[in-house]
Chains A and B, each alone.
Chain A
């Protein structure tokens, strides 16, 4: 496969761009949707149903999510493959972030397909996606699965937050050491915010429930919603 220099540049810049647009934007949407789990089964499933009802959903899923992630990850693997990590000899902050960016990328490479296959395509394996809240609640009861999800959430949070910083440099936005240092902190704070809210949403599926600034009327969530009559396990989270 012989690439011209111009094609090479475009591919590398698209790898960078896709990390933010559309994949990063999708991640934000995904985090927001999942945060509705804090409002209980009905609130959550209502948002899921809304997403499922989007026009051109199929095209959005293929070209807005799948293709960009696959492209970003494929080139990402090549980038990881070409790197020669030297964190032991040079234990510097930015060098550690460089390696973590790649480690979390590879982790996501395994986590994302696992996650998508067991939720979006759970039917292929005999599951039901009718009540997604119940499905998640059921899965996350297994401590091992829960730990895996925490790892996935943290990896995606760090990868996206720190990725924004790399993105800003690759696109020529941060052009001095002082600016880069300033925004590195901001990027890590974004990562932290994603990490904490992501885990909070995971907790919302469990017996304890998440910490919710949003859960305005938890009781209301059980009445009138399309999935109120869902099987036993889903009832708990909703009324917490």
Chain B
């Protein structure tokens, strides 16, 4: 049983500045989540040695694991700080570090732009607007809706991207990463999205596209929303291969 909560947090004032650890001690209370701990520190920003420090910069918004902004590395593993309870972590010091695969902004805040650029790359959207009324969307089989629902829960938190050994937001051209791949699959499941199948698959087949996945499968293991990202990747593999073979032998 914990009697106090010891947090070891990586601090960095700005991009390029040296990183350093700071320790904080909080009295234990049951059912605290990590954002609540950070709020407590913000109220009284004094480190374990009694020195006054600048408050820790971190991001959070929804506090209920739907916005995806509070991702950080907790004891080295990427997860949401708002839905991670201290009670569920092993006893002992809890380390908090920013995601390492994205450019650092300050302390625990990173810039997740490379992931959003990746979404653009795979056309992670459905065009629903025209210069005229496009009419209602086609009806969908319930089974397909059910499958799509899993992928609709993605909140672009970036945990899968952090966990993937082949992705780095510092060199995003090498691999677009699992989150955009999951969304590409999601939009290919949608009947309206399928109208852009060719463009989307071509985007996936380029440099740093789906072929750069090495099947480490960490993405699905760390996803806080339990999205079956590896299923999406495997099924996309089938689709891009079919397209490639069709072109090789047919067109």
- Known A82-B174, A83-B165: A172·B238 in contact at CB below 8 Å: yes
Q: Is the CB of A89 within 8 A of B77?
A: yes
B244 at the interface (CB under 8 A from A): yes
Q: How large is the interface on B (under 10, 10 to 19, 20 to 34, 35 or more residues)?
A: 35 or more
Residues of A near B234 (CB, < 8 A) are 169, 172, 174-176, 180
Chain A residues lying within 8 Å of B241, measured Cβ to Cβ, are 13, 171-172
The answer to whether B244 and A171 have CB atoms under 8 Å apart is no
Tell me if A9 and B218 are in contact (CB < 8 A). Answer: no
Q: Which residue of B lies closest to A179 (CB)?
A: B234
With A5-B206, A94-B215, A98-B215 given, can you name 11 additional A-B contacts, CB distance below 8 Å? A5-B205, A9-B205, A84-B166, A94-B216, A99-B165, A170-B211, A170-B215, A174-B234, A175-B238, A176-B234, A177-B231
Check A85–B209 contact: CB distance below 8 A.
Answer: no
**Contact of A66 with B by CB under 8 A:** no
A-B pair count, CB < 8 Å, reads 106
Complex CA gap A10/B166 in Å reads 19
Within 8 Å of chain A (Cβ to Cβ): is B217? yes
Q: List 19 A-B contacts (CB under 8 A).
A: A5-B202, A5-B209, A8-B206, A9-B206, A82-B174, A82-B175, A84-B166, A86-B163, A86-B218, A88-B76, A90-B76, A90-B218, A99-B216, A101-B214, A169-B234, A170-B215, A175-B237, A177-B230, A180-B234
Contact assessment for A10 and B163 in the assembled complex, using a CB-CB cutoff below 8 Å:
no
The chain B residue sitting closest to A8, CB to CB, is: B207
Q: Taking the complex as formed, is B228 at the interface, i.e. its CB lies under 8 A from any CB of chain A?
A: yes
Nearest-neighbor residue (CB-CB) of A5 within chain B: B206
CB contact list, A78-137 vs B, under 8 A: 79, 82-86, 88-90, 92, 94-95, 98-99, 101
Question: A90 with B222: in contact, given A10-B244, A12-B212, A84-B168 (CB under 8 Å)?
Answer: yes
- Asked if A6 CB lies within 8 Å of chain B CBs, one says yes
- B-facing mask of A145-185, CB < 8 A → 1, else 0? 00000000000000000000110011111111100100000
Q: Which A residues lie within 8 Å of B247 (CB)?
A: 6
Residues in B with CB closer than 8 Å to A171 are 237, 241
Complex CA gap A89/B101 in Å reads 14
A3 contacts B by Cβ under 8 Å: yes
Interface residues of B in 196-211 (CB under 8 A from A): 202, 205-207, 209, 211
* A98 engages B216 (CB within 8 Å): yes
Q: Which residues of A contact B (CB under 8 A)?
A: 3, 5-6, 8-10, 12-13, 79, 82-86, 88-90, 92, 94-95, 98-99, 101, 165-166, 169-177, 180
Q: Which residue of A lies closest to B216 (CB)?
A: A98
Nearest-neighbour CB distance to chain B for A11, whole angstroms, equals 9
Q: Are A86 and B165 in contact (CB under 8 A)?
A: yes
Q: Is the CB of B237 within 8 A of A90?
A: no
Q: Is the CB of A95 within 8 A of B76?
A: no
Look across to chain A and name the residue whose beta carbon is closest to the beta carbon of B211.
A12
Least Cβ distance of A30 to chain B in Å? 26
**A171 CA to B211 CA in the complex, in Å?**
10
Give 7 closest A-B pairs by Cβ, nearest first: A172-B238, A5-B206, A12-B211, A89-B76, A98-B216, A94-B217, A172-B237
